[in-house]
Amino acid sequence: MAHILIVDDDVIIAEVASEALINAGHACGWVTSGMQALHVLKHRRPDVLLLDQDMPDMTGSQVLRQLRNSPEFYDMPIIMFSAIVGRRDEELAMFAGATDYIRKPFKPDELAWRIEHVLASRATRPKHKELQTFLEESSGRAPLSKQSTVRFL
């Protein structure tokens, strides 16, 4: 069971998505704005964030950029969820760091499958790794605390 946060200003869409994901066995909640999502994230980190693009206070892209630039949320799976159907919008979202992109209207079964696919692709990874540790491991360097020290006499 994964914990999923849906961010969508369309209450009907959020309810349908939430119901589909609950029926698939996940815990699910939703908020109606990017600002509310950022507030919730201060208190609880979901396993997946389902993020609408077109919202009144902050766009999904703005929320995505803020989270990708954050040491706490740089690695959280974020699926953009949008009625904007242009290929360019999807490419920009993926370039900005979206894990996946789902177009509305959506089929509930497909939404559940896409969430499962994202979760399965991350199953062998830890839920979160400190950014400094991730960068050190990615560069091939040992963590700074374990590097040998060279002393000159």
Per-residue pLDDT of the chain (153 residues; tens, 9 = 90+): 999 999 999 999 999 999 999 999 999 999 999 999 999 999 999 999 999 999 988 999 999 999 999 999 999 999 999 887 678 888 888 999 999 999 999 999 999 999 999 999 888 765 666 766 666 776 776 555 554 444 444
> Residue 7 falls within a domain, yes or no?
yes
Distance CA 109, CA 111 (A): 5
Burial 7-36 (b: 16+ CB within 10 A, else e): bbbeeebbebbbebbeebebebebbbbbeb
Here the CATH number for the domain that contains residue 128 is 3.40.50.2300
> Residue 151 falls within a domain, yes or no?
no
> Residue 152 falls within a domain, yes or no?
no
> Residue 153 falls within a domain, yes or no?
no
Residue 88 sits in which domain range?
3-146
Q: What is the pLDDT of residue 145?
A: 53
Report the number of distinct structural domains present in the chain.
1
Does this model's pTM top 0.95? My answer is no
For 71, 105, 124, 134, 138, the CA distances from 142, given in Å and listed in that order, are 19, 47, 21, 11, 10
**Contact by Cβ (8 Å): 14, 8:** yes
| Run of H or E including 13 | helix 11-23
Distance CA 129, CA 17 (A): 29
